[in-house]
């Protein structure tokens, strides 16, 4: 058999236990037909073979993003990116410019790191009115747990003032800042302003960019944002109806408490954006101890623990893989308690249930997760946003920032750890996640380059029950491959975030080639 594609002169990190390193990879149609060292590939060459010279750079299995929001990422690419904003004036000018360019449409901004603004708060409707008065404006915080609108937006989106989560001034007047159930309702109304054709166009535009990051498969954790209703989710419905026609691999976790609905759709996964608790930035992640900067709160559990146990037991008994969204140590504890309850009732099964984020997992919880064969689905780029001295984790948690995202301890405990971006919260770039796993601000939590790559390849495939098809470079596997422009094992590790993808191969086809 001759090869349709050969990648040569590479430092191939195969993620395969039998042949861990190779210098070349040969592909025929959609499958890998050989790997090796030296020039053994030459016998597979024909006049029709495309040959890529990796020039000594790293070659890896196609990257897998284990926690990805497709629709919000696609829409976010059309919104105003506020992540670099320094103060309200910067935010306002960016929104005003967008309003001038599209005067007849609502303006939406996202990725606002309000903790790092000079004002140290979300802008309210009065702040936003200074820049945009006659057009609805909405601004999402970076973690999508808070949302602000101007006065025009407040009137346009028509949110009932009786809902929990409407922030008010001392006179009881809405400030235009929303969270909780009110934020979820407002978020839903904003999403309704984008019709199916707009969403479809946005998704089709974003997918080529994902191949540019070396991504070949994503675990679609749609919905979420501020929505804690857990029934029907428009974004999930879009992925369910369109995943087969999209060129990127799409594995859906449906965030609902309606188990029968998931089974009716033929899905074997449930959850993803199924919140057990909130976020650290919003002080809603459930903690064992109070927040350092607000000692009267320890966050919230969105599910009643007994309801979570019963829900888990029903899912487990029906062989559904569950993905909890749990950040704080108390939220993780509730998830593990529920899983242990289900195992006690039904016996241990290979369901590979997952805890998404796991930002404050303790060593005792790591051991319990290993005993349950649970998986930690983590987002290393969070440490770039919020970790280290002087950043949000330290502001909220004090010295406990030194115990966030403990990747080294997780791996050493035997826990299966897969990596994702939580895009649109962080950039959907696996190399950014690999960078922060290797360069964690707290040195004792750092992992090796190979371990970090494994989080975004083999481990991601394992967490989707797809390790026999993707996640490693080996004979017979699908030809999902990424060629980088550097040798990330033999370079300055502090520059991994700057590495680019040169080629992305999906099912044997080159779907991205960097100019």
| DSSP state letters, 283-329 | T-S--SS-BTTBTT----BSS-HHHHHHHHHHHHHTT-EEEEEE-SH
Task: Give the CA distances from residue 98 to residues 17, 102, 324, 332, in Å, rounded to whole numbers and listed in that order.
Answer: 51, 6, 37, 40
CB-hemisphere CA count at 13 Å for 236? 25
- Stretch (H or E) spanning 264: helix 259-264
394, two tokens: 């330290």
Which of 105-109, 219-223, 229-233, 308-312 reaches the highest mean pLDDT?
A: 308-312
28-46 pLDDT per residue, tens:
999 999 999 999 999 999 9
375 SS3 class: strand
- Is residue 143 helix, strand or coil? coil
Residues in contact with 9: Cβ distance below 8 Å, sequence separation at least 6, in sequence order:
23, 24, 53, 54, 55, 56
Q: Mapping DSSP to helix (H, G, I), strand (E, B) and coil, where does residue 482 land? A: strand
Distance CA 47, CA 359 (A): 52
Q: Where are the strands (E) in 344-438, listed by range?
A: 354-357, 375-378, 416-419
Beta bridge partners of 32: 27
Q: Which CATH class is domain 1-61+472-515?
A: mainly beta
We find that the CATH architecture of domain 260-470 is Alpha-Beta Barrel (3.20)
**In the beta sheet, which residues pair with residue 166?**
178
Give one DSSP letter per residue of 19-75, joined into a string.
S-EESEEEEETTEEEEEESTTGGGGG--TT-EEEE-TT-EEEEPEEEEEE-HHHHHH
Dihedral angle sign, alpha carbons of residues 41, 45, 48, 53: positive
When pLDDT is averaged across residues 352-360 and rounded to a whole number, the result is 98
CB 202 within 8 A of CB 172: no
Q: What angle do CA 66, 205, 95 make, to 5 degrees?
A: 95
Output the pLDDT for position 119: 95
Domain with CATH 3.10.310.70 in the chain: 72-192
CA dist 273 and 260 (Å) reads: 18
Nearest Cα residue to 296 out of 304, 309, 305, 287: 287
Tokens of 239: 């992925």
In the chain, CATH 3.20.20.140 sits at: 260-470
What's 445-504 look like in SS3? HCCCHHHHHHHCCHHHHHCCCCCCCCCCCCCCCECCEEEECCCCCCCCHHHHHHCCEEEE
- CB-facing half-sphere around the CA of 435: CA atoms within 13 A: 20
Q: Does domain 72-192 have CATH number 3.20.20.70?
A: no
**Residue 231 has what pLDDT?**
57
Boundaries of CATH 2.30.40.10 in the chain? 1-61+472-515
State mean pLDDT over 226-245.
78
Rounded percentage of the chain residues whose pLDDT exceeds 70: 98
Q: Which of residues 414 and 143 earns the better pLDDT score?
A: 414
Residue 150's pLDDT band (boundaries 50, 70, 90)? very high
- Tokens representing 326 are 């749990």
Residue range 474-508, pLDDT digits in tens: 999 999 999 999 999 999 999 999 999 999 999 99
């Amino acid at each position: 058999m001759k090869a349709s594609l050969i990648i040569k002169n590479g430092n191939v990190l195969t993620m395969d236990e039998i042949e861990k390193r190779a210098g070349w990879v040969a592909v025929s149609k959609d499958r890998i037909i050989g790997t090796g060292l030296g020039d053994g590939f030459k016998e597979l060459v024909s006049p029709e073979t495309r040959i890529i010279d990796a020039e000594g750079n790293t070659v890896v299995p196609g990257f897998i993003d284990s926690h990805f929001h497709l629709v919000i990422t696609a829409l976010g690419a059309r919104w105003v990116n506020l992540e670099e904003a320094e103060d309200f004036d910067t935010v306002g000018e960016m929104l005003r410019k967008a309003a001038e360019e599209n005067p007849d449409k609502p303006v939406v901004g996202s990725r606002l790191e309000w903790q790092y603004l000079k004002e140290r708060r979300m802008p309210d409707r009065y702040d936003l009115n200074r820049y945009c008065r006659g057009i609805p404006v909405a601004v999402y915080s970076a973690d999508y747990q808070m949302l602000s609108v101007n006065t025009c937006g407040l009137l346009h989106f028509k949110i009932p003032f009786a809902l929990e989560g409407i922030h008010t001034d001392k006179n009881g007047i809405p400030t235009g800042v929303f969270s909780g159930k009110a934020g979820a309702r407002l978020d839903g109304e904003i999403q309704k302003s984008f019709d199916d054709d707009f969403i479809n166009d946005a998704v089709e535009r974003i997918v080529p960019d994902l191949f540019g990051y070396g991504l070949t498969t994503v675990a679609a954790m749609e919905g979420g944002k501020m929505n804690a209703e857990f029934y029907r989710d428009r974004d999930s419905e879009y992925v369910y109806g369109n995943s087969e026609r999209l060129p990127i691999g799409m594995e859906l976790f449906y965030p609902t408490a309606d188990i029968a609905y998931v089974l009716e759709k033929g899905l074997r996964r449930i959850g993803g954006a199924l919140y057990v608790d909130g976020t650290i930035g919003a002080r809603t992640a459930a903690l064992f101890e109070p927040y350092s900067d607000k000692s009267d709160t320890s966050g919230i559990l969105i599910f009643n623990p007994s309801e979570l146990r019963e829900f888990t037991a029903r899912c487990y008994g029906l062989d559904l893989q569950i993905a909890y969204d749990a950040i704080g140590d108390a939220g993780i504890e509730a998830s593990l308690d529920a899983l242990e309850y289900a195992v006690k009732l039904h016996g241990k099964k290979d369901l590979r249930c997952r805890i998404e984020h796991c930002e404050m997992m303790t060593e005792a919880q790591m051991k319990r997760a290993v005993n349950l064969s649970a998986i930690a689905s983590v987002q290393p780029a969070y440490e770039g946003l919020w970790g280290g001295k002087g950043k949000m984790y330290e502001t909220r948690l004090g010295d406990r920032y030194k115990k966030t995202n403990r990747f080294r301890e997780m791996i050493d405990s035997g826990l299966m750890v897969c990596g994702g971006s939580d895009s649109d919260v962080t950039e959907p770039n696996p190399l950014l996640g690999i960078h922060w796993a290797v360069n964690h601000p707290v040195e004792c939590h750092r992992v090796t380059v190979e371990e970090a790559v494994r989080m975004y390849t083999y481990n991601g495939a394992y967490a989707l029950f797809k390790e026999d098809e993707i996640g490693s470079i080996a004979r017979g596997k699908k030809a999902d491959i990424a060629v980088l422009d550097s040798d990330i094992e033999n370079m300055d590790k502090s520059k991994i975030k700057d590495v680019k993808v040169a080629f992305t191969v999906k099912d044997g086809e080159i779907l991205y080639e960097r100019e």
